A and B are shown apart, each in its own frame.
Chain A
Amino acid sequence: MAELDRDHTAEVEIDTRYDPAGVPIVTVAGELDVSNAATLQATVASIVAKRPERLIFSLGDLHYMDSAGIAVLLGAADKVNAVHLRDPSPVVRRVIELTGLAGVLSIES
């Protein structure tokens, strides 16, 4: 999990919306790793500051996520009652399953 690839800068797109019920939905697309996880961390920090009940990450177009990315999701789960991962790509889904995090970050298809 120790990402050492400093030269590589992954491309990630982050988009925040709110559903009709006022639940924040953060769409993360591209690749999320140690080089850009701080960007998502800043977005998440501004959202959890408003103390929402739930937080949804939409990860259908996220094709790579390393431990730094997982750490951001776990950090959000620590501050919000429920964090859901919506429609994660197989790559992300398997990482969540194999690291025993499905209980912490509930996956909804």
Chain B
Amino acid sequence: MTAVHEDSGPAPEAGASVELGSTLAGSLGRWRPPSIALVAGLLLTAALALTALAVYNRNERRVLNLRVRELSLVVQSTAPSIQTPLASAAALADATGGSPQHFRSFMAPYVGRGRQFTSVSLWPVSTPRGRPTAVLGTAPQLASTPARAAQFLGRANRPGVMNVTGFLSSAHPSIGFAYRVPGHTRGFAVYAENPLPANRRSTLERNSAFSDLKYALYLGHSRRTSDVLVTSEKRLPLTGRQATSVVPFGAGAFTVVVAPRGSLGGTFFKDLPWIIAIAGVLVTLAAVLMTDRLARRRQQAERLAGVLDRVAAENRRMYTEQRSISQSLQHALLPEIMPELNGLRVNARYVPAATGVDVGGDWYDLVAVDDRRVLLVIGDVSGHGLRAATTMALLRHATLAYVTQDCSPATVLAKLSDFVNSGPHDYFATVLCALIDVDRHQLTMASAGHLAPLVLNGGGGEFARVQPDAPIGVTPGSRYHEATVSVPPEAVVVAFTDGLVERRGEVIDVGLDRLRSLAMRHKLPIDDLLTELARDLTSEDHYDDAAMVGIQWQN
């Protein structure tokens, strides 16, 4: 059986594996938050801008509808100023039997350059192909079209209200108004005619209440360009957002169409959707940049954490490996113990410290000197690491060499002491040599500062009485005392190093007592006894190596 090496150190961990895919996934993952910010920001911006645009459009429409109604009222309000003099003249004509003199004298203030009408005429309604009986100002165009005059002033004419007609395709386009008193089938109609502006163009004054509007005024319910009376524009029809209103005018009607020149609600509200859109895009871009930066930082932090994890795992792996190397070396330096030797059952344990990667300086040997004697050597070199281990190997082999010359423990230790002190050295070693006489059940021991072995006898147990001399390497010319003790048949002897019993902060006797009482409680074959002692006496944090050798007489 070989010496069993207990290892209470941490189990080897699986090495950290670098996932190749994680890099790719990481770079994709980094773009996810900025993309979300971009899409969300743009969607929100578009929604806000569209809402602002819709509100703006609704407001514009409402304002434009209000404005077209206002304009209609203005147009409508001009009707009485036209109708009143005509109606008065018609009543006068009825009353005077169509007197041209009275007519002229009444209407004269209204006619002429700079006055209300350009041409005014008095028409007897009963005349089949009528001609005016009196004319003030220029000759009316109506007079040059007798059929139209008969229709306009006759059947088609509604009495008691102003009637409107236009000469829109003529070389001198003009508009005409006619009035006849109700209740008379043979009465008189008063007709007034005014020229329309050249090209129908009439721009509103800059300070007018309607200067912010484009407009077109049509005769009747029509919106044909040929029916336009007056407009602010060169080209018709009006395009874009517009509003229309039909204005009753006497018996007829005008159609008013308006379109805004700019924004009726103010330029700010017109620009608001754009302001929102631009600001939203800028804010979105800022958010994207910020998110990207945050994502990048987080990724860096994660990468760093990953690196640290790998370093830590690598350290753990290296530590475990070093520790494994140390223990392999220790194992290599220690002998294999035969399970039986000259009628003795023997075994040994080496328990490395719970932590650390150094090899210790503990060693043991069991050699058959002859058929009936066995020499047990156990020792501990001060210090640790490779130096202690190589010193241990040196001492171990020197000891074996001296044993072949003289197996007396005191002599072996004295020779070992002389050997060490023959040159400069900076270590010392405690060594116990015990020559076991198997047949006589006797142990002859010498101790160079080493702890005495424990002798178990049935239910009892005691440390063998052996006076320790100074450790090897302390005093030149050291000589060692021998003591011989007899042990009962079936006794168990356990030799050990101080790592098994020494604890920080307690007198070493406490540790020795702990070992003794534990060993006494176990009546086991030595293999199991050593296993139990190794387990119970070396805790999770034991800081020193420990070695044990056990021998048991067989029957």
CB of A38 within 8 Å of the partner chain? no
Within 8 A of A (CB), among B486-506: 497-499, 502, 504-506
Q: From residue A23, how far is it (CB to closest CB) to chain B in Å? A: 22
| Cβ-closest chain B residue relative to A8 | B543
Q: Max chain A CB contacts within 10 Å: which of B449, B497, B506?
A: B449
**CB–CB A91/B382 < 8 A:** no
CB of A67 within 8 Å of the partner chain? yes
Interface size class of B (residues with CB under 8 A): 35 or more
CB of A40 within 8 Å of the partner chain? no
**CB–CB A2/B474 < 8 A:** no
CB of B508 within 8 Å of the partner chain? yes
Cα(A67)–Cα(B361), bound, Å: 12
Q: From residue B546, how far is it (CB to closest CB) to chain A in Å? A: 10
CB of B18 within 8 Å of the partner chain? no
Q: From residue A92, how far is it (CB to closest CB) to chain B in Å? A: 9
Given A1-B497, A99-B430; A91-B356 close (CB under 8 Å): no
Mask: chain A, 47-75; 1 = CB below 8 Å from B; 0 = not? 00000000000000001101110110011
**CB–CB B360/A4 < 8 A:** yes
Q: From residue B266, how far is it (CB to closest CB) to chain A in Å? A: 78
**CB–CB B447/A3 < 8 A:** no
CB of A42 within 8 Å of the partner chain? no
Within 8 A of A (CB), among B318-356: 352-353, 355-356
Mask: chain A, 92-109; 1 = CB below 8 Å from B; 0 = not? 001100111101100000
Q: From residue A85, how far is it (CB to closest CB) to chain B in Å? A: 14
Mask: chain B, 362-400; 1 = CB below 8 Å from A; 0 = not? 100000000000000000111110001000000000000
Task: List residues of chain B with CB within 8 A of the CB of A100.
Answer: 447-449, 467-471
**CB–CB A71/B427 < 8 A:** yes
Q: How many residues of A contact B (CB 8 A)?
A: 30
**CB–CB B380/A2 < 8 A:** yes
Within 8 A of B (CB), among A1-19: 1-8
**CB–CB A94/B509 < 8 A:** yes
Given A63-B505, A67-B383, A94-B508; A2-B388 close (CB under 8 Å): yes
Within 8 A of A (CB), among B508-555: 508-509, 543-545
**CB–CB B381/A1 < 8 A:** yes
**CB–CB B384/A4 < 8 A:** yes
A sample of 12 inter-chain contacts (CB < 8 A) reads A1-B383, A2-B361, A3-B544, A5-B355, A5-B543, A77-B474, A95-B508, A98-B449, A99-B430, A99-B450, A99-B470, A101-B470
Q: Please name the 5 residue pairs, one residue from A and one from B, whose CB atoms are nearest each other, closest first.
A: A100-B468, A2-B360, A5-B543, A4-B356, A99-B449
